[in-house]
Chains A and B, each alone.
Chain A
Amino acid sequence: MPQFLKMFRSSTTAGTPALAPSQERVPRRSTGFQEFTKVLQAREGLNVLDLGPTSPTNIHYLTSLGHKIYNVDVLLSSMDPALLRPGEDGAAIVDVERFFAENLVFRGEQFDAVLLWSVADYLPESLVKPLVERIHSVMQPGGMLLGFFHTKDAGPQAPYHRYHIAGADTLELQQVPRFRLQRVFNNRHIENLFQNFKSLKFFLARDHTREVLVVR
């Protein structure tokens, strides 16, 4: 596994309150999502996997295009106390084997599109690569994934966001205070992470974020 740049050694803030869904949403244009939308609008009946927090807006948008949507909040699932076990240093870590035995298990479903959002930046280290491998195994050849990765300029306090689809090229960002940035991937790390995929396309956004389109 490639050594990702670990700038910020921190964990999720245990004991903090759950999602605060009433927080303000900030609109943001997204070139990556604009490209991604072309796939969504090309035809009906796609299988779409959303790995972010449950968003009624996204469900509405995707189902109204005639797609079947699967929603798995990977980050929240990784905090399930039942999936934790003591690590070598005594600190609780996620039982990777058990996590993937209980999550992202699809009965033969193959996905045409995957919304990873910025989950990889906040996920425990041990889950990142297995997650990408699992995604690879459940995606159709030619399927497209959209991921957001912070640049180092974003800083260690870069908040985790729920991404709500507000239009073909616009997202709304809603802060989720529960999670902290775990690491920053540079371009090389991202390429290594998705090395089994066919192609990657980067879009650098103004808010210290790389939008990455990955084709299986």
Chain B
Amino acid sequence: MWKARPDEKSPGSAAPAPSTTNTTTTMPTTTVVSAGNTAAPTAPAAPRSNFAPQRPGENFRAEVAHIGKSVLIKGELSGSEDLYLDGEVEGSVDLKQHSLTVGPHGRIRANIRAREVIVHGKVDGNITGDEKVELKKSAVLTGDITTQRIMIEDGAFFKGAIDLLKEGKSQSGEHRRELSFNAAAGSNS
């Protein structure tokens, strides 16, 4: 499937050849070492292909997707990766198990759902952050927040309701409410 070409080079690739099984190599004519075959490739110095498939479990940390400040989106915005949003959105935002950062130029008129939501800009809509919602000092939020943990910096404007969900059962079997506040909010206390 991922047949490497003999003349293919991996730019900037300094990654050593993987020592585990079931790997794809850049060996000429030979592509895949079958599962169970623990033998190393016959040319150990051969660099790993840049086109090697990403397997589940591998820690390929992609960069956060970025929507710039000149972008206007109307409709449903959904995804399965972290997102930095500095533009305008009207509709809904659903990132499921990923995080959303609304940049300082971000203008959101939408309900938001994500694992973690960080707001620097302006949001007009309800926010559901399954784990955490953070309002930075420049944030302006008109809408309700539902989350487990919330952090609000002093200077943030908020108009709406905050409903803190209890986290899942802890080891003791008790529901536990965990709150955290960042230093900026606490330092003025």
Q: Which residues of A approach B to under 8 Å, CB–CB?
A: 19, 21-22, 25, 54, 56-57, 59-60, 63-64, 66, 68-73, 76-77, 109, 164, 166, 172, 174
Contacts and interface: CB of A to CB of B under 8 A. Distances in A.
Contacts of A72: 159
Contact of B156 (A54, A77, A174): A54
A114 to B, nearest CB: 14
Given A57-B189, A63-B179, A64-B177, A71 B155 contact: no
A190 B186 CA distance: 35
Interface of B: 137, 150, 152-164, 177, 179, 181, 185, 188-189
Contacts of B150: 59, 63
Contact of A63 (B137, B156, B164): B164
A63 B149 CA distance: 10
A66 to B, nearest CB: 7
Contact of A59 (B152, B157, B188): B152
Contacts of A69: 161-162
Contact of B189 (A22, A77, A166): A166
Nearest to A24: B188
Contacts, number: 62
Contacts of A73: 157, 159
A60 B159 CA distance: 15
Contacts of A19: 155
A66 B189 CA distance: 20
Contact of B188 (A21, A63, A68, A76): A21
A77 B162 CA distance: 19
Contacts of B188: 21-22, 25, 57, 164, 174
A180 B90 CA distance: 37
Contacts of A21: 137, 154-155, 188
Given A22-B188, A109-B161, 16 more contacts: A19-B155, A21-B155, A22-B154, A54-B156, A56-B154, A56-B181, A59-B152, A59-B158, A59-B162, A60-B185, A63-B150, A63-B179, A64-B177, A69-B162, A72-B159, A77-B159
Contact of A68 (B159, B161, B189): B161
A134 to B, nearest CB: 15
A25 B157 CA distance: 18
